Homo-oligomer: A and B are copies of this chain.
Amino acid sequence: MARHVFRCPLRWADMDAFGHVNNVAFLRYLEEARIDFMFRLAPGEGAASFTGGSVVARHEIDYLRPLVHRHEPVDVETWVTDISAASMTVRYEVKDPGTLYARAATVVVPYNLTTQRPRRITAEEKAFLEQFRDEGAVAA
């Protein structure tokens, strides 16, 4: 039931000519959070784990409040829902304490880079994901 929190550093150039963090930069923050979660935190950093490849099948993101560059990182809270045989949904909130900037979800498909084909989630990966599963939160 835990959530993973990635402290995501901003870059000054993430802002666009309107002086806000550009909407596309948020997707980069999600990628960084996902990589921290699936590549660093997940067990078995090898060809047989997520590090060996995964593909984004879908993104959804709602922008709730503008974000401006500052020197402190922003929190990307991450958890998992809809774990199936060959896909899962990573859910995120980009936020500071008390302020929610964006809410998002990514459907991720594990991928075998060698065969260039999707592959099934392993038992070891599933056990890892279950620790961060939180289906109820979706309704919130």
Contacts and interface: CB of A to CB of B under 8 A. Distances in A.
Interface of A: 9, 11-13, 15-19, 22-24, 27-28, 31-32, 35-36, 39-40, 53, 55-63, 66, 69, 71, 113
B12 A15 contact: no
Contacts of A16: 12-13, 15-17
A32 B12 contact: yes
A62 B71 CA distance: 28
B57 A63 contact: yes
Copies held by the complex:
4
Nearest to A24: B27
What 3 A-B pairs have minimum CB-CB distances, sorted nearest first? A23-B56, A15-B17, A9-B9
Nearest to A55: B63
13 contacts: A12-B16, A12-B17, A12-B31, A13-B22, A13-B28, A13-B31, A15-B16, A16-B16, A23-B56, A23-B59, A55-B63, A58-B62, A58-B63
Given A63-B58, A113-B18, A71 B24 contact: no
Nearest to A28: B24
A28 B22 CA distance: 10
Contacts of A19: 17
A78 B2 CA distance: 40
Nearest to A66: B55
A55 B67 CA distance: 12
